[in-house]
Amino acid sequence: MFNLDAIQAALREQAIDAWLLYDFRGLNVLARRVLGFADDVFLSRRWFYLIPAHGEPRKLVHRIEPAALEKYPGSTAVYLRWEELEAGVGQLVNGFPTVAMEYVPRNTNPYVSRVDAGTIELVRSFGPKVVSSGDLVQTFEATWDDEQWALHLEAAKHTRSAFDVVFGLIGSRIRNRQEVRESQVIQAILDHFAAHGVETDHNPICGVNAHSGDPHYSTAPATDSVIRAGDFVLVDLWAKCKKPRAVYSDLTRVAYVGSETPAKYRDIFAIVAGARDAAIARVQKAFAAEEPLFGWQVDEAARKVIDAAGYGANFVHRLGHSIGQEVHGNGANMDGLETREDRKVMRRTCFSVEPGIYLPDFGARSEVDVFIDKDGQVHVSGDPQTQIEAIDVGS
């Protein structure tokens, strides 16, 4: 919930003079969450809320919606004409050399960049330097409380058990000489989620053989493949509890359809698992030593393992992403590839660790979730896979 004292303390800690929260018709979900807007609150006009590091906040709202921010402390200015809006913004930021907004230079993190370029230009025209609110957003939107951590663990029980369900389904159907397709695996996951009170934003991934080598493969009628003995299967799934403020669990595991997994699969998976464990160890080391840690450094720890094994060119995505009320959350990503993530890895945040090696005939990925609690203890959920699942299909 909105906490003015905590926000102002964070601004002083980060040496930022003010935070200007702005939204138009729900485009800036981060500003809405920082202020604690209910999901069903709709405002049709632009509003601004400036929180200074010291002193009273300032509000700017439209005459049609003068009560838009009435529950929040601070003085209120009302505009009607566009000239009044622009002048009002100038009055809001007057006297503040640096102003944080949901902006990232060069849009290197689109999860944070929620304010349009024109509004940034308008604010800059009055003199302030606009800086990114990325770490502020983490502090007040991407961090979890104890209830959310418990909801994550509840969701993780059902995401983890979904693998047992679908790998069992594959084995059972093949043993009974019944056809089993990628789409049937996906439906079994969705049925499992529905039966256990969790939900997902879109279909999970089931990729067999070459399809597993496509990190974002999506099964379609034209590509829906039959799974047979001797095949390699990747399943990536994510879900959260059907409760307010629930957060996701996001996991990936791989399997071989048969009792003896060939060496080519085992060797690649061993590299991937080693990269995953190196990244987790990097997080554990930093928090044990109480050293600052940035998202790019976690990515680097895993990437070094895969590079050293000669497969660097086959690890084609960032190591991991922030996890929150959306599966791709608004905290720091574990990324030194697609962007250089310079935001800190913070306490009470969660992110995925999911290195992968993608080859023409198959791809292996191992994904778990990492949560750092308020005391700096590092928790790994999702039961890290130590070897490829062997699916028994009989002789």
- Under DSSP, is residue 10 helix (H, G, I), strand (E, B) or coil? helix
Pick the CATH number of 143-391 from 3.30.565.10, 3.40.50.1360, 1.10.3430.10, 3.90.230.10: 3.90.230.10
What tens digit of pLDDT does each residue of 274-327 get?
999 999 999 999 999 999 999 999 999 999 999 999 999 999 999 999 999 999
Contacts of 139 (CB under 8 A, 6+ apart): 6, 10, 346
pLDDT at 319: 98
Q: Name the residue ranges covered by the structural domains of the chain.
A: 4-141, 143-391
What is the C-alpha to C-alpha distance for residues 357 and 302, in angstroms, rounded to an integer?
12
pLDDT at 395: 66
- This prediction's pTM: 0.90
Crossing angle between the packed helical segments 182-195 and 146-175, to the nearest 10 degrees = 140
CB distance 330 to 322 below 8 Å: yes
CB distance 136 to 101 below 8 Å: no
CATH classification code of 4-141: 3.40.350.10
pLDDT at 353: 98
> How many CB atoms are closer than 10 A to CB 46?
19
189 forms beta bridges with none
pLDDT at 30: 94
Buried b (16+ CB within 10 A) or exposed e, 93-116: beebebbbbbbbeeebbebbbbbe
Residues of the chain with pLDDT under 70: 395
